[in-house]
A = this chain, B = another copy of it.
Amino acid sequence: MAVSANANGQEVSAAKKDAVRDKSVYSPVQTSRIDHTPTLPSVLQGNFKLNHGPPSTSAGQPEEIQKLFPCLFGQPSVQIVKSDSPSYNVDQKLKVGVVLSGGQAPGGHNVIAGFFDYLQAHAPGSVLYGFKGGPAGIMRNKVVEITAEFLYPYRNQGGFDIICSGRDKIETPEQFQQAVDTVTKLDLDGLVVIGGDDSNTNAALLGEYFRSKKVKCHVIGCPKTIDGDLKSVEVPISFGFDTACKIYAEMIGNIMVDARSTGKYYHFVRLMGRAASHITLECALQTHPNVAIIGEEVNSQNKTLREVTNSIADLVCQRAEMGKHYGVVLIPEGLIDFIPEIQHLISELNEILANQGCDEHGHWKSTLKPPSRALFDSLPHSIQEELLLERDPHGNVQVSRIEMEKMLISMIETELFARKHEGSYSGQFKGQAHFFGYEGRCGMPTNFDTTYCYALGYAAGALMHLGQTGLIASVANLTAPASEWTVGGTALTQLMDVERRNGKNKPVIKKAMVELNGAPFKKFASVRDAWAVEDSYVSPGPIQFAGPTSDDTNFTLKLELGAPVDV
């Protein structure tokens, strides 16, 4: 018999359902959103069928991908199109599962809602299980049955708290076997994996494994990450990016108004988004800061930390001459990963910490290579301490704990102090540091994310019902009204390349970085010099759920799709 888990993680019979969430404490806005009905793309209304494309290949090294995915490699991507009659067995009831994997992103609940509503509409009598706490819930068979009543209060709401998420991976042969045991025990026809690049790679591996073991369970992925780095031609955007950027942009816009009103602070805003700088770029397009550092550009130009800070100091001096002693600077969380010299320093530090350790007299510093030594000595004391003190469980420096925004402020202060001394600067520089992260991950999804996620979940249901596996739900034509969006499934192997890790070939969906010759960056690059000196600040204000512009999407997506924008 199927088992599930209560809130404390104890396993209980599936018959005993989790308590339905008490929505008596909902805010008026939360309450007003519950009954909002997202527009469904018209191809998902009425009857539909699949159009199969040509055999697929991979993003790189197709022979290697074929070796890793002997069953799934080459299968075509599909489009859902209208048909005269149902193309599935109308009497079929499905038993299916869903799992949320990795960090939260606004809209996750709506993917589940879309999936659930598909089943209600097209396969009534089906059963939907939610795996609790991420992939670990699959391995340990921690599950809750998602009913209409249970799902209702989460509709159009932020967060992943309906079944929570987790960062575990299904990796070892034992873990794959646990997954087989669970889906067999639950008699699952399919599993929807909602996650980022890693999770979707894992979804493909799971689909391959199930197929190879003749397990009937199909696997469909959905693209999730606020960072915006899971995308391709077929999957134009990951969900959550739109909402998170708009929340950050609201706050940045407010700070800009404050900066201009007060006239005496430089605000340095670090934004979540580690691997790629999409969030920083989108927020820049929305708000027009004086500076937005794009990690990919810094890296491509092999810039040093000093070059980055000096260019900001130059602008501070230039603005001071215009009588402006304020400004706003956006910094991607992952900046430190993009500056080669810092990476060298950190890897040397990791080595030293692992072997000799650091003596308190600082003799250890002589083992640093000269460029790293010079860089270390140039860092503010507090950052030196962070580099030496914060370690992760593997003994490595915890880069994510380093408050890059404070580091830049401190280094610019030092530089400007020197310039003041020389007489080349006579202003007042006061930095204010901000980090926007958690505020954006669990916001209430925008109309775009609400609608997009619902379509993704509905599409996942349709793909599964039509016998598909190893696909990622792909909803496109996103700059058109939602009714005109196209819907399909892209072979997950199509997005893959191979990386060599620990002597083995591993399939990976490569993170989509900011393209320096892509439309969003080029638009930014064409206007940033004006933004640097003029005050072109834009204040997007709070996300609105009603009104003429509440359905607007983001600049990055529009520019990438060639839609007109007004930046």
- Interface residues of chain A, those whose CB is within 8 Å of chain B, are 7-9, 25-30, 32-33, 104, 133, 157-161, 164-165, 247, 250-251, 253-258, 260-263, 265, 267, 286, 288, 322-323, 432, 434, 438-444, 536-549, 552
Contacts and interface: CB of A to CB of B under 8 A. Distances in A.
A322 to B, nearest CB: 7
Nearest to A108: B261
B544 A542 contact: yes
Given A539-B158, A542-B543, A258 B32 contact: no
Contacts of A32: 547-549
Contact of A27 (B26, B247, B538): B538
Contacts of A538: 25-27, 30
Contacts of A33: 541
Contacts of A257: 104, 157-159, 161, 442
Given A159-B257, A254-B247, A261-B442, A8 B323 contact: yes
A28 B546 CA distance: 12
Given A159-B261, A442-B257, A27 B540 contact: yes
Contacts of A7: 323
Given A164-B261, A545-B544, A537 B25 contact: yes
Contacts of A440: 254
Contacts of A323: 7-9
A442 B541 contact: no
Main secondary structure of the interface of A (DSSP, over half): loop
A443 B254 CA distance: 5
A546 B263 CA distance: 32
A329 B267 CA distance: 25
Contacts of A540: 27, 29-30
A265 B438 CA distance: 11
A438 B326 CA distance: 14
12 contacts: A27-B539, A27-B540, A29-B542, A30-B538, A159-B258, A159-B261, A250-B443, A250-B542, A254-B440, A254-B444, A255-B438, A443-B541
Given A29-B542, A161-B261, A255-B439, 17 more contacts: A29-B539, A30-B538, A30-B539, A32-B548, A157-B539, A161-B257, A165-B262, A247-B542, A250-B443, A251-B439, A258-B441, A434-B438, A434-B439, A443-B541, A444-B539, A444-B541, A542-B542
Nearest to A537: B25
A72 to B, nearest CB: 31
Contacts of A443: 250, 254, 541-542
B254 A552 contact: no
A261 B162 CA distance: 8
A261 B444 contact: no
